[in-house]
Structure 1
Amino acid sequence: MKTPPFKLSVLVLLTLNLLLMYCSSSPTTTTTAVAQGASNASTGPDYPGGTGHTNSNTKDSIKGLTDNYARVHFPNSPKGTEDYPKVYFIDRKIISDILSQDSCIGLRIYPGYVNKSSPYKPRLIVIGVKRKPNGKLLDQKTKHGTNSLIRQECTVGETDDKCPDNCEGTLY
């Protein structure tokens, strides 16, 4: 059964929102947490590959996760800052183009900076992921065929469209 495009877009954007907030943390905050004895040992994901939530109570608890993140990383500005944004927007067509690529099973989201020092000019990079025969995940990339001159292209998304620049308010 195919998921209707609207529901798929909502699920993808909700997942992206959560991942974006996780990936745009301040380096000094992370360093402070580790210095204060926080464990940095990975225990693995709670939701391997992610999960979609439709229950209202569950969605409300997810809102609590984003509130917790904002309190830790943006204590003086719940919307984030210019160098450390809380939320990004990326157009659904870009997400659709990435997800419709051959062998694409999901997305990886990378934080990036244009500059190596402040002002950093943060960006969000979104790339399709494929599963290798051994079960491991691999970023999709442009590759040249070994027996032909045909080049297989992939779409990589980039955005710097972020709050507070583009939003009147956010639910998460």
Structure 2
Amino acid sequence: MIRRATDSDVDAVERHYTELLSFEQEHGSSTNWELGVYPTRAVAEKGVKDGTLYVLEENGEVCASMILNHVQLDAYASIPWEYAAEPDKVLVIHTLCVPPSQAGKGAGKRMVLFALEEAARRGCEVMRLDTWENNRPAANLYLKLGFRYAGKAEVLFEGSISENLIFLEKRI
């Protein structure tokens, strides 16, 4: 079941962030996120407060999380989007996190499919997202689910992480 997160989910989401980023420190990064910089417990807490953090729960255990909102980074303005839409008609996926202990079980796909359904329920016209250019697992998942590549931009994420992001979109 995918649902809005509550305060009681924050510990599990934080553990997932730490598990993923610790794994990436050892084995190489797919996300380009940094432990202690992004994502952090504060990101999960804000998501709960804002009602934008969603979790996948199975058998009473949180298995994955993501943030869904209408926030588009400044870099989104430089992307030649094919599908124009007013900002409140664009739902954006942020911080989709599937920890290594849950990888390969379809959690990422389920989360993205839920996000698309949620966008339709909200009357959105477009789903957009960005990911680090070297995050092949994420990019491949989005492309398999019908997203199209819209562009690339260099950003300074969280004021300290220099990265090239790719941007993808899908008409709802």
TM range (shorter): under 0.3
Name whichever structure is richer in strand by fraction: 2
For normalisation by structure 2, the TM-score amounts to: 0.28
Name whichever structure is richer in helix by fraction: 2
